[in-house]
Homo-oligomer: A and B are copies of this chain.
Amino acid sequence: MPIKEAVRPGGRSARVQEAVHQAVRELQAVKSRDELTVPQVAEHAGVTPSTIYRRWGNLAELVADVSVERMRPDDDPVDTGTLAGDLQAWGEQYLEEMTSVPGQRALNDVMASADNGRRERCCRYSESLMATLRERALSRGEAAVPSLDRLVDGVVAPMTYRLLYDRESATAANLRRWIARALAVEDVD
């Protein structure tokens, strides 16, 4: 067995997982979603198909697992000085990412997972980011900072909705409107 590279960390499981994830990423760059098969991924990863089946169950779960990684925000959100600015900056980047071809595929793959937990995890990312921006605004002493729920309902939800069902409307201009509305507090609770 030719070893591709020095395998330092973790156990064998970790190595296999990484090899398989890597194989999926590489193959996805070349093949369309429904040309991808488990045996193919297995071979490319230097692994037996049964390993993949036992560990992930099926292709849908595997690609979902890979895509959920891809969606984790890697760097800290930029600080523009105001909550509105921070939201807009983050949102625009997120929209751009998710309307791209690979972004859309990742979104689809995650949504196709039978495992609700996986989907939820993916969206916790956005929520915890909202919480971060909100804390930041509070510590800056901004007035009228909306509740977390209001940010989620007012900004994340419409964004997600449009990304999933109406890509045309997932634009920076609309984002600006969602943010403006969410920040117009005068609460009705």
A residues at B contact (CB < 8 Å): 33-34, 60, 108, 111-114, 116, 119-120, 123, 152-154, 156-158, 160-162, 164-166, 177-178, 180-181, 184, 186, 188-189
Contacts and interface: CB of A to CB of B under 8 A. Distances in A.
Contacts of A108: 114, 116
A33 B112 CA distance: 13
Contacts of A162: 157
B119 A165 contact: yes
Contacts of A154: 181
Nearest to A60: B112
19 contacts: A108-B114, A108-B116, A111-B111, A112-B114, A119-B164, A120-B166, A123-B165, A123-B166, A152-B158, A153-B157, A153-B158, A154-B181, A156-B161, A157-B162, A160-B161, A161-B161, A177-B189, A180-B188, A181-B188
